[in-house]
Amino acid sequence: MTKSRIILVTGTRRDSHNPSGVRDYVRRRLDKCLAGVEKPRVHLIHGGAKGIDTLAGEWARTRSIVWTTFPVDWNSVPREEQRGLGPQRNQVMVDFCLKLERPEHVVCMAFPDRESKGTLDCMRRAHKAGIRVVFNGIGVDPCICPRGDGFRVGVQGTLGEPCPYCKGRGFVP
């Protein structure tokens, strides 16, 4: 039995196309993370955004799991300076996970859709830090492909068109 697990959740802000179905899907996938872990040693990390982050927070509360939220105050800076706030927050969350536990005890549960740029950024940062990324796509297929000096995270479309970077030969870590 694993002594501890840190769960970093990142995902789409849009869950309105099937709220109960998405809620159930997120709960089932997060419950699966608990298999073989002592419950008091589980810690959930999320960004506090609407959508998947909110659902993950509800899940943690209903299971009496400790959670930490890293919300971004988008109103604290002018609109033209907001572009870097999400990626900065994503890096802070990844760094926080690694302060709590070694990478092998951390899992990034990612729930992207076709428009989840912030989710894809967090997935890339977690993967680069040595954290296992579990893809739980909502209507999309994963593609994390080598590109240049790091990893480029792309999402294949629901119509089956290949990633423009790896031409469909990508992989999921």
Which domains are seen in the chain, by residue range? 5-141 (3.40.50.450)
Q: In this structure, are residues 12 and 121 in contact, taking their beta carbons and an 8 Å threshold?
A: no
* CB environment 97-120: b (16+ within 10 A), e (fewer): bbeebeeebbbbbbbbbeebebbb
List pLDDT tens digits, range 16-53.
Answer: 455 667 888 889 989 988 887 876 689 999 999 988 99
Instruction: Provide the CB-side half-sphere exposure for 151 (13 A, CA).
Output: 22
Q: In this structure, are residues 139 and 163 in contact, taking their beta carbons and an 8 Å threshold?
A: no
Question: In a 3-state reduction of DSSP, which class is residue 1?
Answer: coil
Question: In a 3-state reduction of DSSP, which class is residue 123?
Answer: helix
Say how far apart CA 144 and CA 124 lie, in whole Å. 8
| Lowest mean per-residue pLDDT among 36-50, 101-115, 127-141, 143-157 | 143-157
CB neighbour class for 62 (10 Å; exposed up to 12, middle 13-18, buried from 19): exposed
pTM: 0.79
Say how far apart CA 67 and CA 30 lie, in whole Å. 13
Q: In this structure, are residues 22 and 136 in contact, taking their beta carbons and an 8 Å threshold?
A: no
**Confidence at 139, pLDDT banded by 50, 70, 90:** low
pLDDT of 158 over the 80 cut: no
Say how far apart CA 170 and CA 152 lie, in whole Å. 10
Sign of the four-CA dihedral 44, 22, 1, 60: positive
